[in-house]
Structure 1
């Protein structure tokens, strides 16, 4: 027999949404990322600290790194933005260099994740850059605003 009790229906909906939210949290908890300050790799579930950043969370290997980040976010923003992308809290929506539609066939792997570009020219620029220069080019504040957006919960 089906229940038409509105309270029962609301409780059932809340239980389903809670289950979905917990499943999403579990998926995030198993993602590997790097501390934007120390560069230490860990899974999000093992993070020692976190802080709100751009309507998302950045995770750290220790509370000391979190304090350094909070004190000087600009210094670590490219690595924090990369972490948002790697953990799935941000998604790519355009070429981070030119702002045009990204072509998955024109991509470069950064931290084991593909970043797509609009053309071979932008891909070539990204591939030629290395280390922090590449991170700044692809995940610095201007590039992040151009090519990525925070995934809404």
Structure 2
């Protein structure tokens, strides 16, 4: 059969259901035929492990670890079929394609992790699934569609309210006592002089307005430094011993835990395959992490007494004279 005819036949074939079986205690899938059409995991972009498989359209797809199979199942039918066809042609995506896909799919900023609607104050989920919108480059969640228009009618006012709540929520997790731009202290003689600047739902503490401008000029640089500080500060006392997504999966049971930083929290997974599940509904999983940290923060006295400053007030004493390159 000619390749073109084979492809046409595959496209006309009704999609077959995925044949699933439990594997290695992690819900991974295995099919009857273990000769995979692919060499690289379509999700993890790593070589397949030879143990984790699913069946699609009568073909076996391999994965680098349990967890990636579930992420693959969440792809739409056309995307799964296209991957199978590309693999059969010997044209499966390589590392360059994986990097490009990551750049396209990477979320801009941090998710909205407040549990209430910014307009009504209602608990998210109390009126059905929250309405998720991207407004001015930031994710915002609402209790209903009617609240979206009210928010958009005065974004300056409502984002100021959201930012204040985000700063209060993230303050106990904030890892630095110095400005992330200049390295200068955020307190003098016991007085907190820091500015709480919220960048796309992420609290960033700075010493003055000049540092806000410097941060905004190259946020990726300073967020990278902040992420590193979060990991360093939270890794030792990280309160969970199991995956942030799969509560029965011990961290380290599948090798070195995968980890990300979300809204100034370290989040660890049993494997990289769990990250897409987390990112689909981060608020659901972050609640468990916050609850686990609460007694630690209470012992450290971090839950109360942290002042909330707006990001546009005047420079504080002691920080008005350092150089920001202004004319």
TM exceeds 0.5? no
TM-score when scaled to structure 1?
A: 0.36
Whose relative contact order is higher, 1 or 2, with alpha carbons under 8 Å and at least 6 apart?
1
Larger radius of gyration: 2
TM-score when scaled to structure 2?
A: 0.20
Bigger strand share: 1
